[in-house]
Amino acid sequence: MNSPVRTLLVRIDDRLIHGQVSIGWAGRLNPDFIVVLDDEAARDAWENELVCSACPEKVKAEVHPVEEGTRMLLSGGHAGHRIILLLRSVASARRLLDLGFPLSELNIGGLHHHAGSRAFLPYVYLDPAEVEDFRSLATRGVRLVAQDVPGNRSFDLAPLLGAEAG
């Protein structure tokens, strides 16, 4: 699929835009936009404003529901621009792929402890449903790269999950 989308990074981080993204990744990748695809943040005006306020001054931030934002990007929204795409969850990443987004690599930057989860890395805690979603992404050819900040070591998450790459 030839897509107008030009993502520099597609990242899952349950905190969305924060220091690691706005200073670390945006500082390294120099995007034009940070696009957050998250149904909850898009519904809540306060959270939407909070998320966007953490964006670097020279970068534009937007928050969209997953489906609406994916359609916008696939139809040429922000064509030619450099984009960091942020998701809060692996379920959102799976929806992104299901909607036809050309997802070849996914950065897993922060999924913190929550009910039923266990640590795979110090910044990646997953519950059984999330493990299955990541395994599904891996079998569909998505490279799973766990890395919290650009200067730190990256890890191929698929072997840690017992996933077979597609």
- Domain assignment present for residue 116? The answer is yes
Give percent of the chain with pLDDT exceeding 90: 73
CA distance linking residue 52 with residue 123, whole number of Å: 23
Rounded to 5 degrees, what are φ and ψ at 124? -130, 105
* Other CB atoms within 10 A of residue 159 CB: 12
What value does the mean pLDDT of the chain take?
Answer: 91
Which pLDDT band, with edges at 50, 70 and 90, does 128 fall under?
very high
- Domain assignment present for residue 139? The answer is yes
Question: What does the pLDDT read at residue 16?
Answer: 85
CA distance linking residue 61 with residue 4, whole number of Å: 19
Which pLDDT band, with edges at 50, 70 and 90, does 164 fall under?
low
What average pLDDT does the segment 114-126 reach?
Answer: 95
- Domain assignment present for residue 122? The answer is yes
- Domain assignment present for residue 1? The answer is no
Which pLDDT band, with edges at 50, 70 and 90, does 114 fall under?
very high
Count Cβ atoms within 10 A of the Cβ of residue 107 and give its class: 0-12 exposed, 13-18 middle, 19 or more buried.
buried
What average pLDDT does the segment 87-104 reach?
Answer: 95
- Domain assignment present for residue 115? The answer is yes
Contact 107, 9 (CB under 8 A): yes
- Domain assignment present for residue 166? The answer is no
What average pLDDT does the segment 31-46 reach?
Answer: 93
Residue 25 sits in a domain whose CATH number is 3.40.35.10
Q: Which amino acid is at 3?
A: S
**pLDDT for 134-163, tens place per residue?**
999 999 999 999 999 999 999 999 998 886
Domain housing 106: 7-161
Q: What is the number of domains present in the chain? A: 1
